[in-house]
Each structure stands twice: as C-alpha cells, then as structure tokens.
C-alpha cells in the first residue's frame, strides 16, 4: 500500500527520535491539507496518540489520558489496519496507557504495532540511513525534545497574533466611527423633521 510521506515521517519520528511534537506537526499539516481524505479521522487519531505520549512523558497525565481516549473513540469507528497497524493490539496499548495514566504508573514509550512489514522495513531503513536509533527510549533524550513546545521559536506566531489583534482594533475603531456618523445623521434628520 502507498502511504503518505508525512505518515512515514511520522512513524520514523515516533520510533526513532521520539519527537512527538514533530509527529503532531507533520500529520496535522497533512490532515489540514487533505480535508477530504477518507482516512482523516485516523490521521487525527495518530496525532492524538503522539500528543498523548508528549503529555504523558512530561507528567501531564490528565492531558495524556484525554488524548488517548480521543484516539480510542476514533479507533472504535475506524480500523487502523488501513494505516498498516494491528488494530486490536493498538487499542489494547492505548487502553493500557489510559489505565497507566489513571494509576500514575511509570511512563512508557509506545511501540506502534505494525501489520505491514514492508512499511516497518521502510521506516527502519530510513531511520538507519539518517543515523537514528529505531525504538529509541525517551530516557536517552535531551530536555529540548521533551519540552519542545516551551522552547521553540514562537516569534512568527507572536507576530501573527499581534497583527491580528491590531487589525481587530482598527476594525473596531472604524465600526465606532461609522456608528458615530450614523448617530449624527439620525440626529440631523430629527432636527430637520422638528423644523417642518
């Protein structure tokens, strides 16, 4: 089966760098660019799994549990076999992570259960070609990966938000000016009516 490049990259990042933030970014971009994709809900499911791992690894068990439950809800309606994964095993893994989050068990990296051996081989080969370790443990990561969302450059996001806020202020100011003009026009019409 042909899988999107974004998904293959997701799988490599998921297992060989454990950069779950990047996994989220990769598939979210693909999902948004392909809103009519029949696998759209499975892409969201995979995003939720990566975000769940990201939260759980940082001790945010409630957020992780919510993400895993969201993924399970999607898997109840969509079969992950179309993504080259063993569906029932993936469901069991996520249910175990929900329970682990509830009981404050130690964090564990998820190993996605591949059913498509060709996909698994491709991902491993690409990881090795980049000098990455397949099934890398999160224990071997720097805090820059573990806390990536707090350490990334957000200057573009901040600038875009400031520009949007400035635009809203300008629009509000123009609307207020229009209301003042309308009010003045009504008052002028009332004075003319009083004279007649």
pLDDT at position 162: 73
CATH no. for residue 128? 1.10.3450
pTM (two decimals): 0.75
Does residue 161 share a domain with residue 129? Answer: no
Is pLDDT at 4 greater than 70 in this prediction? yes
Does residue 105 share a domain with residue 92? Answer: yes
- Are the C-beta atoms of residues 100 and 53 closer than 8 Å to each other? no
Does residue 176 share a domain with residue 143? Answer: no
Mean pLDDT of the chain: 88
Strand partners of residue 85? 114
Q: pLDDT band for position 166 (50/70/90)?
A: confident
Q: pLDDT band for position 161 (50/70/90)?
A: low
Does residue 109 share a domain with residue 49? Answer: yes
Query: Which of 30-39, 134-143, 184-193 is least confident?
Result: 184-193
Q: pLDDT band for position 114 (50/70/90)?
A: very high
C-alpha 133/C-alpha 56 separation (Å) is 22
C-alpha 99/C-alpha 18 separation (Å) is 22
C-alpha 129/C-alpha 140 separation (Å) is 20
Number of domains in the chain: 2
C-alpha 130/C-alpha 55 separation (Å) is 26
pLDDT at position 42: 98
pLDDT at position 169: 81
Does residue 112 share a domain with residue 37? Answer: yes
Q: What does the pLDDT look like over 124-159, one tens digit per residue?
A: 999 999 999 999 888 876 666 665 655 555 455 555
């Amino acid at each position: 089966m042909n899988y999107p490049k974004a998904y293959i990259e997701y799988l490599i990042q998921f297992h060989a760098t454990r950069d779950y933030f990047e996994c989220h970014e990769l598939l979210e971009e693909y999902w948004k660019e392909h809103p009519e994709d029949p696998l759209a809900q499975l892409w969201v499911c995979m995003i939720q799994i990566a975000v769940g791992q990201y939260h759980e690894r940082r001790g945010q068990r409630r957020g992780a549990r919510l993400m895993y439950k969201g993924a399970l809800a999607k898997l109840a309606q969509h079969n992950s076999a179309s993504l080259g994964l063993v569906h029932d095993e993936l469901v069991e893994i996520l249910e175990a992570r929900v329970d682990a989050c509830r009981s404050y068990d130690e964090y564990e990296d998820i190993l996605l259960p591949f059913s498509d051996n060709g996909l698994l081989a491709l991902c491993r080969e690409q990881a090795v070609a980049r000098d990455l370790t397949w099934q890398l443990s999160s224990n071997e990561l720097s805090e820059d990966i573990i806390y990536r969302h707090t350490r990334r450059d957000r200057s573009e996001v901040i600038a875009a938000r400031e520009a949007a806020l400035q635009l809203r202020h300008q629009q509000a100011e123009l609307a207020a000016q229009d209301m003042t003009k309308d009010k003045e026009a009504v008052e002028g019409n009332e004075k003319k009516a009083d004279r007649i």
